[in-house]
């Protein structure tokens, strides 16, 4: 885990074949899982965050040696860097929403009422905000 900005940039571009300037965060973990680095582009330059655990190890998120990439949400990354063992084992972030999910739970109608200026809690309220 001796690589700095340029070495990690090269790994992202060449090994992962991803754009390091995309705004995504790239997590690198040492073989002994005591050190981790996060490389990201913040719009003005590359940032490199590093953390070394004094006790214990970071959780092992990958299943085998051939697994080199996986996706984490920001909350999962934060929990991982805090040393949580739950990341990768249980769902800690909500799933992506889909139109069918929103329609089945009546959320589309609520959004349409809000766009029209009506209060979704009272379906009889006028859209202009005047009281009856």
Inter-residue contact 5 to 38 (CB < 8 Å): no
pTM of the predicted protein model: 0.64
> Where would I find the H helices in 3-132?
5-10, 74-81, 99-104, 107-116
Residues 75 and 23 sit within 8 Å (Cβ to Cβ): no
Place of tokens 């690589």: 3
Q: Which pLDDT value is given to residue 69?
A: 77
Q: What is the per-residue pLDDT for 75? A: 82
Q: Among 64, 65, 66, 72, which residue's Cα sits nearest to residue 36?
A: 72
Among the residues of 82-120, which ranges form H helices?
99-104, 107-116
Q: Are 37 and 8 in contact (CB under 8 A)?
A: yes
Angle (CA) 61-69-49 rounded to 5° is: 80
116 token code pair: 């029209």
> What's the confidence (pLDDT) of residue 45?
92
Run means of pLDDT, 10 residues per run, the chain, 132 residues: 90 93 92 93 93 89 71 84 76 58 54 56 53 51
List the strands of the sheet with 46-52, edge to edge.
25-29, 35-41, 46-52
């Amino acid at each position: 885990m001796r690589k700095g900005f340029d070495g990690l940039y090269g790994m992202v571009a060449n090994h992962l074949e991803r754009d390091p300037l995309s705004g995504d965060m790239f997590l690198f973990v040492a073989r002994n899982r005591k050190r981790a680095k996060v490389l990201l582009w913040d719009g003005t330059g590359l940032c490199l965050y590093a953390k070394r655990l004094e006790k214990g190890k970071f959780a092992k998120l990958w299943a085998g040696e051939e697994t080199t990439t996986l996706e984490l949400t920001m909350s999962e990354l934060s929990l991982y860097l805090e040393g949580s063992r739950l990341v990768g084992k249980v769902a800690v972030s909500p799933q992506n929403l889909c139109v069918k999910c929103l329609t089945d739970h009546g959320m589309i109608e609520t959004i349409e009422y809000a766009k029209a200026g009506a209060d979704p809690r009272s379906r009889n309220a006028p859209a202009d905000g005047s009281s009856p």
